[in-house]
A and B are shown apart, each in its own frame.
Chain A
Amino acid sequence: MLTDSSLIAPGMLIPLFPLIGFLINGLFGKYLPKSITGWIASLAVLASFCCVFYMFTNLPSTGSLHIDLFNWIGFANFNISFGYLIDPLSITMMLVVTGIGFLIHVYSIGYMHDDEGVTRFFTYLNLFIFFMLLLVIGSNYLVMFIGWEGVGLCSYLLIGYWFKNDAFNDAAKKAFVMNRIGDLGFLLGMFFILFNFGSLDYAEVMKQASLLPVGSALLVTITLLLFVGATGKSAQIPLYTWLPDAMAGPTPVSALIHAATMVTAGIYMITRSGVLYAMAPFSMEIVAIVGVATCLMAAIIGLMQNDIKKVLAYSTVSQLGLMFAALGIGAFASGMFHLVTHAFFKALLFLGSGSVIHALHGEQDIRKMGGLSKYIKVTFITFLIGSIAISGIPPFAGFFSKDEILSKAFEHSKIIWAILSISSMMTAFYMFRLVYLTFFNDFRGTEVTKKHIHESPSTMTIPLIILAVLSIFGGFIGLPSVLGFAHKFQQYLSAVTAPAQHILDESHAAEVSHSTEWILIFTAVIAAIASILYARYKYISNKEQPAEDASLTGINKMVYNKFYVDEIYETCIVKPLKVLSDLFLVLIDKLVIDLVVNATAWVVGLSGRTLRLVQNGNTGFYVFAMVFGIIVLFVIRLFI
């Protein structure tokens, strides 16, 4: 297990570079020319990427590197260290975070170049990368929690980046608060772990947990609480409504934080806690059910959205649901595989949408687009590649990971497989609806906008091209065994996922046969192509356009309005809380408690005023009172 000590230095540097970038831009950014702050930030992330890549090539996939930096919270026999754990799982995540993070940084240089707060933007972006790296590199749950809340903060700062707009600020606050609800679950989960296992260190926790009986109440509680945290961060039912609103942030932020990295933290956390989940079958079922339900619901909502970024946002929620479904049925490596490929094509799609928005000077409504393929070719082609990849057409990246999940789902439960397949068809449909409405037919916007349509600068198109290449070939890291290949990705992660897989395999049926898998693949591909063709028929042949808001009725209206979930939360939680707040203040604080306090004071004052009357200066009265008192004392003495 112990690995070369020469790896410690680059390991420690990984999160340090973005932190340095953050400090340089944050403290001295105002003295630097605006044009170089973006490059400083990008280089910081590139340096991290190089370190991660160095670890990737030098650390064997069976090895892991544990670095304890210092004792963070420690007294008596209570010790939580600030430590790093570098193993295939964290390396995978870090490659995604720094790799895609770097591309998005470079893209942002072009995208944000005429924004006045560009330095601030890159400062936040570096801070985000720092926290995200801490999240995945931490060797215990508390360090993960630093990153977990830290990325939530950066998400808040970046969603509300244009802070003069109150709607954006609302979205930012909503994201933070909903994440906090999840975080409370995470925190309580940690308390259960710490109290019962005496440690938060992954290795120690997994070791102790595996000594418990499968399905013990403790493990179910822990895993469900941690999953509450995951639903917040990874936007699952019931805490998903913040993510679509989070599109208020600049588009590179949506690509980096709200598609490729931060929102996948929940997937990472569950994979990291694989043994805990494998030992709690009930929690696995819950994860699967929530994942499947979210996958379907978000896909349905995605069918009707007209904001290019909102479509992609619901698509992200849906794809995250798919990943959770994979985890829930015990396919940890498949979930991680889809996380990686999804990061490629969803980052690509978001950046592509950013390029479209950039070309149209901020227009996001697809009803006012159309025919753009003529004007912005690179964006069009790369966006098309991303859409094919997400729809699951071979041999693009999304096909392999999605197919893997579907076949694992088939062996686990036919219902889950059916729902996921339907959701995948919807995904193919709404993605191509987006492609056709945006890039085909005639332009539907104003003439003024039309004149200004331009392709984006190379800092933006080059990242698009690189991501497009990854979206085409990225799936090859996980070629399935049915094609006669060894699954490279699965092998790479196997050292980490094996203990959990081992527990699951004991209670599981054998894998599906190759012939069944071929059938599944054909079904999936044909379904995807059929959905795309239907979209083509609807939006190219029939030249249909999304209906105006007012003309919607019945179920369409309900879907368009996202099943009114936001409104339900507003009525059932937010408003009552406000009323309660006023009620507590006016009724309890002012009326009950303070009244008692003031009444006490009043009684004291009253008795003072009354007793004062006794002091009337009349000697006769004093003598009388004295004699009366003596008599009373005698009576008490005699009779009682």
Chain B
Amino acid sequence: MMTLLILFFPLIASILVFASGNNLASKVALLLAAAELAITVYVYSVYKQTGADSFYYFKEWISNPKISFHLGMDGLSLLMVILTNFLTPIIILSAFNRNIENAKAYFSLILFMQFALIGVFIAYDGLLYYIFWELALIPIYFIALRWGGPNRVPVTLKFFIYTLAGSLLMLFGFIMLYHYNPSHSFDIRELYDNASKICSCNQSWLFWMFFLAFAIKIPIVPFHTWQADTYKEAPTQGTMLLAGIMLKMGTYSLLRWLLPVVPAGVAQWGPLAITLCVIGIVYASVIAIMQKDLKKLFAYSSVAHVGLIAAGIFSLNIQGFQGSVVQMMAHGVNVVGLFFCADIIFNRTKSLQVEGLGGIRNVAPQFNTMFMIVVLGSVALPLTNGFIGEFLLLFGVYEYNTWLSVFSGLTIILGAVYMFRMFQRVMLGNTSETTSVFKDLMWNEKIVLAIIAITIIVMGIYPKPVFDMAQPALQSILDKVIIK
């Protein structure tokens, strides 16, 4: 029951927010998102006592073809749900003190998005999962299209079609799986148990169908060209949802729906996939150096970070897996922080061009400190959350192949280059005309950034709860991937 509650509460919340009218919408949304977070905390405490078993929910849905309403939360799913429900209220709070037209629809869509995202993370039936996966695209499409920047129409269309094309491949993949699987089912247990019964040539096709869908969503170079423009054009909260949570759908799905489902395909094509990821890390980092637009810079840095997450997953060892989970959480928090800082700057100066800014530190010391902490988390300084993730991921890749690790390790140098270059041009130096009237943080901004900064440091010092939760789930996935 807890599982159903945690899934459907945001849906109900979304309707309530829509009904509450434009004036109240943001407050009601925050309240309900906070309530959902409270439910999550309760679920976490139950999980600590009883483990994952109490969260399975199974109901026959369609008998032929056999599709069931199968939900569940093991440590991995629950961590993703925690990330989603932790970030959603922050994202909503970040929209306070901003003029948003038609607020009831905006916040309602954000909560609807939350519903779909949770669905993706806890669906244990292939088709149900696919439905949530597609459902998540709808609210973000409207958010970007309705509240986006001046160039939003073509950019959003490209984003929508591109990811939809990926999803279509995944749908074919699921149909193929259903067909080749002797038990003819979409249920994850059946898919896992019968993974070895599908011949490796079919698994090879299946691998690419799923991998492409996920690679576009993550995105892994060269499937990333929709991303920078979309991040730039989408409204801040949309970008936060996209970068903070939605792209974790891709990396989560690699762990849940790719590796254990087609292990023979992974054995065949994994090396190519990890090479792509690693190339992408360096490629995106290099591009980020000369980016002039703040949001695009963060977008490319995000490509580099998630590339490393995916590389850690394809390194097929427990360090890489654990690193990927920690980094999914860390990146979610940090990237929301980064885009919020960009939003704060844009809100004051109406500019995101790195060159025209500068000297903000002189007039906004509080903002400076917070931004600095987020940047440090992002460049993976030890004792921040980013370090734990990058250390384990790079070590995971090292165990897989030394040279790939050396190459992807360049990201710690390049990351410092583009982040500090950006920080210097935006924050330091003499105050320019555009930045001289820069107001320091408002109350909601203070709360949001303080929560993010504290999370960055606490997770960096004591990441153990994340490891403990993820460990059983990751170990069981690993056991299924490594074919003995």
**A residues whose Cβ falls under 8 Å from a Cβ of B:** 70-76, 78, 142, 145-146, 148-150, 153, 156, 160, 163-166, 169-170, 173, 176-177, 180-181, 183-184, 187-188, 191, 194-195, 577-578, 580-582, 584-585, 588-589, 593-594, 597, 601
Contact = CB atoms under 8 A, between A and B. Distances in A.
B287 A76 contact: no
Given A75-B471, A163-B428, A177-B417, A149 B382 contact: yes
Contacts of B376: 153
Closest 7 CB pairs of A and B: A581-B290, A146-B382, A75-B467, A191-B398, A594-B225, A581-B289, A163-B428
Nearest to B321: A75
B283 to A, nearest CB: 6
B92 interface: no
Contact of B406 (A142, A169, A183, A188): A188
A183 B398 CA distance: 16
B429 interface: yes
Interface in B398-434: 398-399, 405-406, 409-410, 412-413, 416-417, 420-421, 424, 428-430
A173 B413 CA distance: 12
28 contacts: A72-B462, A73-B388, A73-B467, A75-B322, A75-B467, A76-B471, A146-B383, A149-B381, A150-B382, A160-B428, A164-B429, A165-B429, A169-B428, A173-B424, A180-B413, A180-B416, A184-B413, A187-B394, A188-B409, A191-B395, A191-B405, A577-B289, A580-B286, A585-B290, A589-B287, A593-B222, A594-B225, A601-B158
B225 A593 contact: yes
B96 to A, nearest CB: 25
B287 A195 contact: no
Contacts of B361: 163
A164 B428 contact: yes
B359 interface: yes
Nearest to A157: B372
A160 B291 CA distance: 23
A55 B463 CA distance: 31
B420 A177 contact: yes
Most chain B CB within a 10 A radius of its CB, from A75, A148, A165 = A75
B475 A76 contact: yes
Contact of A163 (B225, B405, B429): B429
B319 interface: yes
B429 A166 contact: yes
Interface string B277-313: 0000001001111110000000000000000000000
Interface string B319-350: 10010000000000000000000000000000
Q: How large is the interface on B (under 10, 10 to 19, 20 to 34, 35 or more residues)?
A: 35 or more
Given A187-B409, A584-B283, A584-B286, 13 more contacts: A76-B318, A78-B322, A146-B382, A153-B376, A156-B420, A160-B428, A177-B413, A177-B416, A180-B413, A581-B286, A593-B221, A594-B225, A601-B161
Contacts of B318: 75-76, 78
A166 B463 CA distance: 37
B205 to A, nearest CB: 20
Contacts of B428: 160, 163-164, 166, 169
B48 interface: no
Given A74-B464, A581-B287, A150 B383 contact: yes
Contacts of B193: none
A566 B481 CA distance: 50
A597 B225 contact: yes
Nearest to A221: B402
Contact of A164 (B406, B430, B464): B430
Contacts of B412: 180, 183-184, 187
A184 B410 contact: yes
B468 A75 contact: yes
Nearest to B284: A584
Nearest to B358: A166
Most chain B CB within a 10 A radius of its CB, from A170, A585, A588 = A585
Contacts of A73: 388, 391-392, 463, 467
B162 interface: yes
Contact of B429 (A71, A169, A577): A169
Given A164-B429, A166-B429, A188-B398, A578 B416 contact: no
A70 B420 CA distance: 32
B35 to A, nearest CB: 31
Nearest to A117: B365
Interface string B82-119: 00000000000000000000000000000000000000
A165 B421 CA distance: 14
B181 interface: no
B424 A71 contact: no
A145 B382 contact: yes
A191 B424 contact: no
Nearest to A179: B416
Nearest to B396: A191
A169 B287 contact: no
Nearest to A225: B406
Given A150-B383, A169-B424, A188-B398, A585 B287 contact: yes
Nearest to A163: B428
A148 B470 CA distance: 29
B365 to A, nearest CB: 9
Nearest to B431: A164
A117 to B, nearest CB: 9
Nearest to A185: B409
B362 interface: yes
Given A150-B381, A177-B413, A191 B420 contact: no
Contacts of A188: 398, 405-406, 409
B464 to A, nearest CB: 6
Contacts of A597: 162, 225-226
B416 A176 contact: yes
Contacts of A164: 359, 362, 428-430
A597 B388 CA distance: 35
Contacts of A181: 413
A253 B225 CA distance: 45
Nearest to B410: A184
A531 to B, nearest CB: 40
Given A75-B471, A150-B381, A597-B225, A176 B286 contact: no
Interface string B119-162: 00000000000000000000000000000000000000010011
A70 to B, nearest CB: 7
Contacts of A146: 382-383
Contact of B462 (A70, A148, A173): A70
A542 to B, nearest CB: 44
B398 A195 contact: yes
A98 B359 CA distance: 34
Interface in B150-185: 158, 161-162
B408 to A, nearest CB: 10
A319 to B, nearest CB: 27
A73 B287 CA distance: 32
A163 B398 CA distance: 38
A494 B463 CA distance: 38
Nearest to A194: B395
Contacts of B158: 601
Nearest to A71: B464
A184 B467 contact: no
A593 B287 CA distance: 14
B232 to A, nearest CB: 14
